[in-house]
Structures are given as structure tokens and as C-alpha cells.
Structure 1
């Protein structure tokens, strides 16, 4: 059984090999706008999961998934040629959720900024609830001091 450091190195190499193979070897127009974002390999080096993003709408994403499934054999052969392990790992392609997570985070930041602006506006016109000096002393205490 391989250690996790070797699996991480192999995953990085698979990521590079798959990205290069998509750019050079695979001529399918469905995978042209595809970017490989990450790869993970199991510790036994038998299975690799490749994460990708696609620039475009839902139809472009579904077309890219179909294109990747059709090119899976060619990509696995390229991986086998470029890595030095006894068995070439099987490839699984999963659409990365980074763009969706980033858009959700941007929306949350926008809402927080709007709330901060409203709070700053309210605090600019706010007045004290009581007198200006809450520690005001009685006149007798002031004479003693």
C-alpha cells in the first residue's frame, strides 16, 4: 500500500497529464472550454478522481461531461504512458463546485457590505441615549474633589 505523499504526487502528475492530453490529444470540441482544477488518487493508487470546471452554461457543462466520458480511454492511456506505476489508475471525472461556491460567497459578501453601509448610515445620525457624560458627578462631589 502506498503512502499518502506518493498518492498526492501521483495525483498532481495525473492532473497535469490529463490537462495536457485534453489540450493536445483530444480533438473533441465539447471539451475545449474545460479546465482541470484538481485530482485525487486513492492510497492504493488504483482510482483517480479528476475535478474540472467548464466555462459556459448548463448545456456546455453537460456536453463537456459527455465528451470526457467518450475520451476516458484515450486519457487513461496517456496517463499510463506518463506515470510510473504498475497499474494505471481508473479515471473518474467530477464537475468541480468551485464556481458555484464562489458565486454564493460573493453574494454573502455583497449582503454583508450592504448591511455594513446601512449600519454606518445609522451610526452617523445616532445620538446618545442619555446625557453626553454618563459619569457626571453631583455638584457636592465636585466641590469635595
Structure 2
């Protein structure tokens, strides 16, 4: 039962974060950022937020820096929107799983192309 609550709270935070990033933040460093998943600790005190950022490495680092700078504002907005006794600490992580799968797809495509020419 507790695992279901943790998952539900994580999904709610993910939804609200998406809206906050899209509509509320005005930091020019923050580029095209997508929240891919939110993992909550069992006691709901920490939200590990995984974000995918479109752009070059410098742009990704700048966006992460902008998110870190806005963390207090984001946390207070989450506190207003999600009914919880304590607002969780937010820790941002760069999610590279999409880039990794894209790289594997490119490699597989190259292997298939080489196999068909032989």
C-alpha cells in the first residue's frame, strides 16, 4: 500500500513540475527540459527528478544550473500544489537514457546496413 502512495505522489509531482517548468520559470538558461520520471524515497522526503534536456553539453549544463538556481521556487510551488505535510527536497538528475537508446538504434542501423551490403 505504501509503495502505491509513493508512486502516486511521484506522478503528481512529475505532472506539476512539467507545468511549472513550462509556464512559470523565466530563466533564459533553461532550455527545452522534459521531466522523464520522478523517484520518491519511501518516506517521501526526497524527490529524485530525472530530466531530459535537448541541446549540446554546454546547454544541458546551463539548463541544469538554472534548475538548481530555481530549486527553492520550484519546491515552494510544489508545496502549494501537492497536498503534503512536508514538501520533499528536489534533486535534479540528467536523464541520458533517451540519448543512449538513440545511440544504440544508430549502431544497429549501421550494422544492418553493413549486413545487407555483403
Q: Same-fold call, TM > 0.5?
A: yes
Where structure 2 has 5 or more consecutive residues not aligned to the other structure, the ranges are: none
**Partner SS, residue 31 of structure 1:** coil
Q: Give, in angstroms, the shift of residue 98 of structure 1.
A: 2.0
RMSD of the TM alignment (CA)?
1.5
Runs of 4+ in structure 1 deviating by more than 4 angstroms, as ranges, are none
Report the equivalent of 2:57.
Answer: 58
Distance 1:33 1:39 in 2: 18
* Structure 2: distance between partners of 1:14 and 1:30: 22
SS in 2 for 1:29: coil
Q: Name the counterpart of 1:47.
A: 46
Aligned residues: 118
| Higher gyration radius (CA) | 1
2:33–2:54 contact (8 Å) kept in structure 1? yes
Q: What is the TM-score normalised by the length of structure 1?
A: 0.75
Does residue 98 of structure 2 align to residue 99 of structure 1? yes
Q: Which moved more, 1:6-15 or 1:100-109?
A: 100-109
How much does 1:83 deviate?
A: 1.1
**C-alpha deviations, 1:66-103, integer Å up to 9, x for none?**
10000000000011111122111000000001232122
Which residue of the partner structure matches residue 38 of structure 1?
37
Alignment-derived partner of residue 5 in structure 1: 4
**TM-score where L is the length of structure 2:** 0.91
Instruction: For CA contacts below 8 A with separation 6 or more, give which structure has more relative contact order.
Output: 2
In structure 1, stretches of 5+ residues that fail to align are 122-145
1:26 alignment counterpart = 25
- SS of equivalent to 2:26: coil
| Alignment of 1:71 onto 2:70 | yes
> Does structure 1 retain, via aligned residues, the 8 Å contact 2:7–2:40?
yes
